[in-house]
Copies of this chain bind each other. A is one copy, B any other.
Amino acid sequence: MAAAAPPPPPTPVPEPSMGPSEDSPLGHPIFTRIRLATASDVPHIHKMIHQMAVFERLTHLFSATESSLTSTLFSPTAKPFYSFTVFLLEVSPNPFTDYVITDPSFTPLVKVINLDLPIEDPEKESFTTNPVHDISVAGFVLFFPNYSTFLAKPGFYVEDLFVRECYRRKGFGKMLLSTVAKQAVKMGYGRVEWVVLDWNMNAIKFYEEMGAKILQEWRVCRLTGDALEAYGTTD
């Protein structure tokens, strides 16, 4: 495909107006949907986690397989919002008319966004969830309950927030994170928390604008690998 001669560019045809003025630029609508991921989404989730590891230059720490993700994220007893939960962001050039099995605990959120420029997705084929309806995965957020003893309330901890490269800087990350925040409010939860690298000023600014506080004094402690395994054999 990449080596084939590109087709001639189509003659620009003005689209019918949906805005208040006939003259207003319409941009390029993209239909978005946020829904609960299921086990059948694991191949896409696995690819995105790998891309995240590449982006963070941490592929040496990456050992997830599709099978290990399926058994740990989608075990039969795991209940969305009460255990590990994945929201998937899907996009399509068309309105969503496909049939999606909806978990009673979450109604998919559909929104149409007008972009100035169309998005060229070079990896679209690898991330298609429904080729007939031209639907692909653009990102995901993985979160799970945490707990505050002072509030005596659960909250959500966001482990991963990822938007595929060609979909970045369009508000999709905020859309995913806001959906987690909204779900927390809906369930009466007290907090949404995550971590950020201290040198990632763009991300920090973005989170502060969303209303988050950056806790400067706290450091994460981690017991893992051999140091953790050693506890399995000690008294």
Interface residues of A (CB under 8 A from B): 49, 52-53, 58, 61-65, 68-69, 72-73, 77, 82-84, 142, 144-155, 157, 159-160, 178, 181-182, 184-186, 190-199, 204, 207, 210-224, 227-232, 234
User: Do A222 and B228 form a contact, CB below 8 Å, given A65-B152, A199-B217?
Assistant: no
A131 nearest CB across to chain B (Å): 26
Complex Cα–Cα for A222 and B183 (A): 15
A160–B151 CB distance below 8 A:
no
24 contacts between A and B (CB under 8 A): A49-B149, A49-B150, A63-B150, A68-B152, A83-B145, A146-B146, A146-B157, A146-B159, A147-B159, A148-B159, A149-B160, A178-B234, A185-B229, A185-B231, A192-B224, A194-B220, A195-B220, A197-B219, A210-B227, A212-B223, A213-B224, A213-B227, A214-B221, A218-B219
A142 nearest CB across to chain B (Å): 6
B218–A195 CB distance below 8 A:
yes
Complex Cα–Cα for A7 and B108 (A): 71
Give A213's nearest chain B residue, CB to CB: B222
B197–A217 CB distance below 8 A:
yes
Give A230's nearest chain B residue, CB to CB: B211
Give A70's nearest chain B residue, CB to CB: B152
A189 nearest CB across to chain B (Å): 8
A49 nearest CB across to chain B (Å): 5
Contacts of A224 in B (CB 8 A): 155, 190-192, 213
Contacts of A151 in B (CB 8 A): 61, 63-64
Contacts of A228 in B (CB 8 A): 181, 184-185, 190-192, 211
User: Do A218 and B220 form a contact, CB below 8 Å, given A49-B149, A68-B153, A212-B227?
Assistant: yes
Contacts of A155 in B (CB 8 A): 224
Contacts of A212 in B (CB 8 A): 221-223, 227
